[in-house]
Amino acid sequence: MRRNIWLYRRCLGAQLRATLEYEGDFWIMSVAALLTQGMGIVFLWAIFRTIPQINGWRFWDVVLIYSLVALTEGIAVLLAQGAWSMAVTVNLGGLDTVLVRPFSPLLQVLSSQIGMNGLGNLALGGSLFVAALRHAGTSWTPARIATAALVLACAPLVKIGLNVLTNCSAFWLKTPWSMFPFAFHTLGELARYPISIYGVVVRVILSVVLPYAFMSYFPATAVLSLGSAPWLGLLTPVAAAWCLVLGRWAFRRGLLRYESAGN
């Protein structure tokens, strides 16, 4: 485990140094992330300017959920952006090189890229998170602080696990430009808002089938003690472990059917 962590850190460091060689790309990606996430906040502000509450959720409560999505996506992009290159790696022969190295193939794939737009997500998400907590009027007991630390540490793992799971479709869909994982990423965008505003089917999908809600909604309910079952937020570590296990299982199953990319 220690060796894998060391190698993973070295791989990410190499990708970071390579990315920073192009300063223009760095600033474009960071500013673009800030603008993209910022437009979402403007959209929320426009809605709540007319409607003070939506199903019991106030503006700053929803901002907290929104900020958690920005934070988890920022961490996932910085630490495991390589999941999104899996289709190209698998279908254009790049996985052949990965398999002959004495390092976990999955960790090699995940550390093969680093997305600098994650810094923009982290900057805005962190700012919104602090602002939302200040306006929430929540009393901070030791138990609440421990809950916040726990869910914040585990929520990004949910996103990383689901990214790996959906991108492993590359082993079955023989194309380097599949839209399949992006479709599920778009579905995960629904987790930017309280899932209680959706129908039963959508709530089940976001909570059980593809538990995107555990990277935002359920952690927020646990921290703010909102909703009908805030204790579900304490299951975020369980959801994170489950998503990571599913992602690893899908990758291993994919390797069993991998046939290289030769003639």
Q: What is the pLDDT of residues 185-221, one digit of tens each?
A: 999 889 988 998 899 999 999 999 999 999 999 999 9
Q: Which of the two residues, 162 and 18, has the higher pLDDT score?
A: 162
Inside any domain, residue 148? yes
Beta-carbon contacts of residue 181 (< 8 Å; ≥ 6 apart): 84, 87, 163, 166, 167, 169
pLDDT over threshold 70, residue 247: yes
Inside any domain, residue 13? no
Inside any domain, residue 220? yes
Inside any domain, residue 28? yes
Inside any domain, residue 52? yes
Inside any domain, residue 183? yes
Inside any domain, residue 12? no
Please state the domain count of the chain.
1
Domain interval for residue 122: 23-256
Inside any domain, residue 6? no
Q: Tell whether pTM > 0.95.
A: no
Instruction: Determine the Cα–Cα distance for residues 86 and 171; give it in Å rounded to an integer.
Output: 9
Beta-carbon contacts of residue 178 (< 8 Å; ≥ 6 apart): 87, 169, 170
